[in-house]
Amino acid sequence: MSERTTTIRTILAKHGKLNGSADTIADDKSLYSAGLTSHASVNVMLALEDEFDIEFPERMLTRSTFETVANLRLALDSLLGEESD
């Protein structure tokens, strides 16, 4: 697991209010099915912005961006201008 994915999962565990452990959710499983709410997704977004010193543009403020760990990682990769390992 990449360091970026580990950080995403740590933030989800702290701010996502998921029904289970963020570490056991598959990268492509719906975080909303795992208990993420729209309110919690805002908290996750803010924590990611702080952690990575970025700002999510309006075009990325969609349910699909926060739907899965994989989607969050792709969004961060795009915003940071690099690919994670």
Written as tens digits, the pLDDT of the chain (85 aa) is 799 999 999 999 999 999 999 999 999 999 999 999 999 999 999 999 999 999 999 999 999 999 999 999 999 999 998 755 4
Domain count within the chain: 1
Enclosing H/E stretch for 4? helix 3-15
pLDDT at residue number 1? 75
pLDDT at residue number 83? 56
In a domain, residue 85? The reply is no
Give CA–CA dist 12/44, Å, rounded.
6
Domain that holds residue 12: 3-80
* Helix ranges (DSSP H) in 16-68: 38-52
pLDDT at residue number 82? 72
In a domain, residue 26? The reply is yes
In a domain, residue 70? The reply is yes
CATH number of the CATH domain containing 35: 1.10.1200.10
